[in-house]
Amino acid sequence: MKRALIVGGGSGGTILANSLDRHEFEITMLSSSFGHLFQPALLYVAFSHARARVVRDERSLLARHVNLLHDEVTSINLKKKTVTTRNGVLFPYDYLVVATGMHTDTSQIPGLSEINAEFGDYHSSLAKAERLSYHLDGFRGGTIAIGQSSPIIKCPPSPLEGVLLTDQLLRKRGLRKSSRLVYFTPYPRPYSAEPMNEVVEPLLEERDIEVMTFFDVKRIDPINRTIFSIEGDKIEYDLPIIIPPFVGANILYEPADAVDEDHFIIADKSTLRIKGTGDAFVVGDASNLPTSKAGVGAHLQAKVVAKILSGHPATFDGRTSCPFDTGDGRGTFVIGSYEAPVTKARPTRIKHLMKTAFQRIYWISLRGTLNPAFDVYFKLTAPKKAAATGN
């Protein structure tokens, strides 16, 4: 029996654990958390008062044969094939899969920790999303500045979803005319990839949302309520909704060059093997793969690694399919892959319903029982490869 050790209990780790054959592997998952958060729901907790069950016990999501241990991994030795935890326990492995995700780091930007503690955000935790919801409830007019403070982000459409849902919320409450909405982004255009930007930019104009491009947050002055960019611009705000920078898990690796400056794991973009190894893999947001950090990536990567571990050839093609709520009951999907740049897809009510429906089936999808349906969906929506990549 081969020992498969999975570090991290998010989407990728859970799907992988449930996908491996129990007759072939002794599966152990190490997770520092008892609860499993459905992260996309934080958007609706913050902007729509969603109160659905967004956290479930990780144990309840895993097949019975998966050995779940709650401990924090502090170091991984890829040469000796061992993992060490905060409690000093050493785990040898035959196969390792790192699925530690990424987390927000407000310390990177002066002033952001104070702002984040006061106003919350919709990417860090349920408590922070509830904090933001509280401040949106209390908003009575003025300037809301909303955007991402760093180019590395979880779910690329989420900053725009935030500003479009804020607009919707203010209109519902009769506050839109007394409010100014400013969207800032480090990119040259509101949506980073041009084809989707062609969909998004008219929406922002139509809804009177101001856009500041090439706005990479340098520091925040909480006393004078001003955000400054590296590029030399500034925004004065009454309510700041700032998505913090993200970093990988704080784990010590041997060799140290298995991770980059932000602790993201360097891996082969097709086989997902961690640099310099044959038996250690990464799935989900923990890697520095040149693809979007989103749940769908974790899902597809977990399936690829499960196949490789079982001796079947498989590769990850960089596929993304990020649901994008554009407000007013409409939505779209941002679809692309390594060889197929993101395509233009107009928002519709059906796509919004698909996003809403996924929230209901997420927990079941972790078990793998819906894989045949997902396979059909991914096949039907496969992006066309471009002869030469471009905007």
**Cα R_g (the chain), whole angstroms:** 21
Rule CB under 8 A: say whether 192 interacts with other proteins.
yes
Task: Indicate the residue among 6 and 152 with the shorter CB distance to other proteins.
Answer: 152
Instruction: State the minimum distance, in angstroms, from the CB of residue 222 to other proteins.
Output: 21
Q: Near other proteins by CB under 8 A, which window of 46-54, 92-100, 187-195, 296-304?
A: 187-195
Contact stretch for other proteins (CB under 8 A) within 83-91, 192-200, 277-285, 327-335: 192-200
Q: How far is the CB of 379 from other proteins (least distance, A)?
A: 21
The helix (run of H) or strand (run of E) holding residue 377 is helix 371-380
Per CB under 8 A, 358 contacts other proteins: no
Exactly one of 223, 256, 387, 388 binds other proteins (CB under 8 A); that residue is: 388
Q: Judging by beta carbons within 10 Å of its beta carbon (0-12, 13-18, 19+), is residue 259 exposed, middle or buried?
A: buried
Distance from the first to the final alpha carbon of the chain: 48
CA distances from 309 to 4, 78, 299 (A): 9, 17, 16
Among 151, 255, 276, 329, binds other proteins (CB under 8 A): 151
Residue from 186, 240, 295, 347 binding other proteins (CB under 8 A): 186
Residue with smaller CB distance to other proteins, 87 or 391: 391
Pick from 384, 387, 290, 308: nearest CA to 343: 384
389 touches other proteins by CB under 8 A: yes
8 neighbors 286 (Cβ within 8 angstroms): yes
Q: Write down how long the chain is.
A: 391
Residue 182 · residue 210 · CB < 8 Å: yes
Query: CB neighbours of 51 closer than 8 A, spacing ≥ 6?
Result: 45
Binding mask of the shown chain, residues 248 to 267, with x at each position contacting other proteins by CB under 8 A: ------------xx------
By the rule CB under 8 A, 188 interacts with other proteins = yes
Residue numbers 335-354 binding other proteins by CB under 8 A: 336, 338, 341-342
Task: Work out whether strand 73-77 and strand 67-70 pair parallel, antiparallel, or are unpaired.
Answer: unpaired
Which residues in 158-278 belong to E strands, given as ranges?
179-184, 209-212, 217-221, 226-229, 234-236, 239-243, 246-248, 252-254
Q: What angle do CA 154, 164, 299 make, to 5 degrees?
A: 30
Of 121 and 216, CB closest to other proteins: 216
Q: Is 270 near other proteins (CB under 8 A)?
A: no
Rounded alpha-carbon distances, angstroms, from residue 205 to 182, 209, 233, 378: 12, 6, 21, 32
Q: Are strands 179-184 and 209-212 parallel, antiparallel or unpaired?
A: parallel
Q: Which one of 3-11, 41-49, 64-72, 150-158 is the stretch in contact with other proteins (CB under 8 A)? A: 150-158
- The footprint of other proteins on this chain (CB under 8 A) covers a number of residues equal to 28
CA-nearest of 56, 43, 210 to 123 is 43
Residues 288-307 that bind other proteins (CB under 8 A): 290
Q: Which of 94, 114, 194, 221 binds other proteins (CB under 8 A)?
A: 194
Q: How far is the CB of 190 from other proteins (least distance, A)?
A: 12
137: how many CB neighbours lie within 10 A of its CB?
10
- DSSP E strands in 214-270: the ranges are 217-221, 226-229, 234-236, 239-243, 246-248, 252-254
The piece of 29-37, 75-83, 118-126, 209-217 that touches other proteins (CB under 8 A) is: 209-217
Per CB under 8 A, contacts with other proteins among 210-249 are: 213-214, 216, 230-232
Question: Is residue 187 a contact point for other proteins (CB under 8 A)?
Answer: yes
Our CB check for other proteins shows the closer of 213 and 356 to be 213
Nearer to other proteins, 318 or 368 (CB): 318
CB of 355 to other proteins, least distance (A): 22
Of the two residues 74 and 213, which places its CB atom closer to other proteins in the complex? 213
Q: Footprint of other proteins on this chain (CB under 8 A)?
A: 150-152, 186-188, 192-194, 213-214, 216, 230-232, 260-261, 269, 290, 336, 338, 341-342, 386, 388-391
